[in-house]
Amino acid sequence: MTTTLDSPLVSTDWLERHLSDDDLRILECTMVMQPNDDGTFSFVPGIHLWRESHIPNSVFVNVSGELSDTGHEFGQMMLPAGTLGETLRLKGIGDGTTVVCYDRGNHAWAARVWWMLRACGFDNAAVLDGGWKKWMAENRPVTAAAPGWPAADRFSVNPRQELMADKARVKAVCDNHEAQLLNSLPLPIFTGEVKAYGRAGRIPGSKHLYCESLLDADNNCFQPAEVLKAMYLDAGINDDEEVIAYCGGGIAASANALALTLTGHDKVAIYDGSLSEWTADPDLPMETG
């Protein structure tokens, strides 16, 4: 019998109780930031950390590799839904399975995989609230054993294209203001004080809520839904209009997309190319200050 999830989050208690469920598929999604010689930074798969120790029965997924369109000009772009579904099927994920994603940071990478699953039409997935940090703080079981699952029989793909916005859609929003743009990056990048991408600043008209602020620093869990809702209202985001979250490459934006979903907001999309794509086009406007 398949375990049906009723929330985008599962607790560490829940996951430990269900570790032996035959239908459970646990995905570690960790990516590790490393500095480059030119002062920029990049992300590399955290598989070396997973090999040392991980949540029992979890497998590692390379979010920027096997789960992204590596042939695309911009990194971390989502694969076509059918291709992503087949990749996940071969990893043992498919109809009749339950998926829990986690990472070792602020949940953005885990949320990205959760969101991509949703965009494929797969809903029986969640993110581990508190992630690896909370799991370790509570002295829960870990292992270095490397499990594997047989390929699933079928991964039914029912694409939800509305969950991913492209450049044309975001440009239209800049012109007609029919949706709210939400920047998920640190404030100095939002204001343009720090240039992290091709051009400094933000997409004009954007609101701001840094993804790290969504978490309780004491336990690395998402803030309660009522607290999150108040934070979005304070940021100028209301639940009557669609929200398009963005960042540098659609990762930090995924944490905001998850948090918005927790508040009950049902009109949310992620700008997949985000500032990596937007700032590369000199004809598109930027705003600072």
Q: What is the CATH number of the domain that holds 97?
A: 3.40.250.10
Show the tokens assigned to 43.
């992300």
pTM of the shown model: 0.96
Do 131 and 30 share a structural domain? yes
- Indicate the range of 1-5, 115-119, 215-219, 281-285 predicted with least confidence: 1-5
Shared domain for 152 and 13, answered yes or no, is: yes
**Residue 145 resides in a domain:** yes
Residues 48 and 122 in one domain: yes
- Section 114-126 average pLDDT: 97
- Are 78 and 105 members of one domain? yes
- How confident is residue 3, by pLDDT bands cut at 50, 70 and 90? confident
Please report whether residue 289 resides in a domain: no
C-alpha 196/C-alpha 185 separation (Å) is: 10
Domain co-membership, 140 together with 174 = no
Alpha-carbon gap, residue 85 to 223, rounded angstroms: 31
For residue 163, the 8-state DSSP code is G
Domain contains 27: yes
For range 147-174, the mean pLDDT? 95
pLDDT reading at 40 higher than 70: no
Claim to verify: residue 200 and residue 239 sit in the same structural domain: yes
Residues 99, 26: one domain? yes
Does residue 4 belong to any structural domain of this protein?
Answer: no
Amino acid sitting at position 68: S
Please determine, for residue 39, whether its predicted confidence score (pLDDT) is greater than 70.
no
CB of 152 within 8 A of CB of 122?
Answer: no
What's the CA gap between 50 and 28, in Å, rounded? 8
In this prediction, residues 191-209 reach a mean pLDDT of 95
Kind and range of the H or E run holding 24: strand 24-28
Number of domains in the chain: 2
> Is 284 a member of any domain?
no
Q: Which of 159, 193, 211 is the last residue of a domain?
A: 159
Q: Could you tell me if residue 1 is inside a domain?
A: no
Residues 98 and 217 in one domain: no
Q: Give residue 33's pLDDT band: very low, low, confident or very high (50, 70, 90).
A: confident
Q: Which of 225, 259, 221 is nearest to 243 (CA)?
A: 259
Terminal Cα-to-Cα distance of the chain (whole angstroms): 54
Range of the domain at 85: 9-159
Per the DSSP assignment, residues forming a β-bridge with 102 are 28
38 falls in which pLDDT band (50, 70, 90)? low
Q: How far apart are CA 80 and CA 16, in angstroms?
A: 33
CB atoms within 10 A of CB 105: 20
pLDDT value, residue 240: 87
Q: Are 132 and 211 contained in the same domain? A: no
- Per-residue pLDDT band at 1 (split at 50, 70, 90): low
The answer to whether position 283 is within a domain reads no
Q: What are phi and psi of 46, to 5 degrees?
A: -90, 30
Domain end residue (candidates: 133, 159, 185)? 159
- Let me know whether 135 and 15 are in one domain: yes
Residues 85 and 196 in one domain: no
> Does residue 3 sit within a domain?
no
> With left for phi above 0 and alpha for psi between -120 and 50, is residue 274 left, alpha or beta?
left
Of 123, 142, 159, the one marking the end of a domain is 159
pLDDT at 147: 80
Residues 226 and 259 in one domain: yes
Whether residue 282 has pLDDT greater than 70: yes
